[in-house]
Structure 1
């Protein structure tokens, strides 16, 4: 055996047949959660909006967020997006501190209400292009890759033929799809959606649900605030019940049990049964 052959054999990893029988397998480290909050608290002056909120949403999960008006759903989204500063607690996305994750465009947001003036002369493609700002220079000069991402996102939500339409000329459901397309163009790995189905038509609802399920299959983590409890099982596999703090985080069917809804909404069990009927 030549010295070169001896060197190569010595450097080669042992085969399964020659590895020591008692050697422990090497396991990859666990994947960090897509969304993680620990002991989160938010106050508006003297009013406590959130307290002791701890939650964990795994990569690829479609998680609903359920609670009555004033329960803190919007405040939680604002805290996750850095719009309000928590008075206590920690937020991470994919194991990365929240501020750094947002600056790296890892987190996308689909608002409940339009963030653009419907009368302003912005095209649909212009709005979706804002999702690419994190990839562009200071002058916001689109590159071919940016234009391709915008075109692909609009095609995915069924609005490719409306790319040059003025945003204010769209229906409510179409505008909601535009904001979903913006998040797609951003290529975020975590999506926060604040009542994405409020006021949309059936076609838009079906399109958005299909896109969300595709994203889940691709490992994108999503937290979705939803007020229509009957729609929730078609969208999510799990849900969080919120009333200033996390009351329950479980599969959708468990969260929708009348006794759990009664606790969260401050109603009796009989009324809760009517709500989910």
Structure 2
């Protein structure tokens, strides 16, 4: 296999969930540039060329299932990129719907041996290991409806942080059962990235701003995240599964390692895993 083939997507069919804007759009564009047939599912319109667009509302299982029914043929990769910062449907949009989609595609054989999944988590989901019993209790809910009911009955879980902790734990726990079926699953954990969601929630001026000033970097851009996602779903990453990969210019690791002396609050957050 040549270098181009091992990193490329020529002849492959990929699904990007949340591919109209932000990191999802960057992944969809990059995959198409590398030769993939790209299907985008999103609630928002897609304003760039792809093979197919399917309108979906991740808040509603029936609408999601109808969208999945429209998929014709196998997929080589799924990029699960849709997400919101807040609202009553946060957990449905950020995790429950993605899990339902992935598990249905695997069960139906649409994602078969040799395929891969990459989700978008966040540095906000780090420290999930400190809350594993609670996260596992949630993940034990077997379907869309029971997961939604669990969130409604557990105060403080319909949060951005808990949604990303759930993503990270899900990726780790599913590495074994999915690999037994020949399917890899990973996630990226972006640091502050210049997306419409980040700008709308003023994230770029907060977390990590002091680190970026000290090292002379700017907030990351969606294309940088897309490049990592495409690598994780490519044959070049064939031995990687169950990984939540930090993409943050070294901020978290420098804080944990102590070389970034102002990283104490980051370490405190990782130890507490406080919800927000």
TM-score greater than 0.5 by the shorter chain: no
Higher helix share: 2
The answer to which structure, 1 or 2, has the higher relative contact order (CA under 8 A, 6+ apart) is 1
Please tell me whether Structure 1 or Structure 2 has the larger radius of gyration of its CA atoms.
1
TM bracket, shorter-chain basis: 0.3 to 0.5
What's the TM-score once normalised by structure 1's chain length? 0.34
Larger strand proportion of the pair: 1
Compute the TM-score of the two structures, normalised by the length of structure 2: 0.34
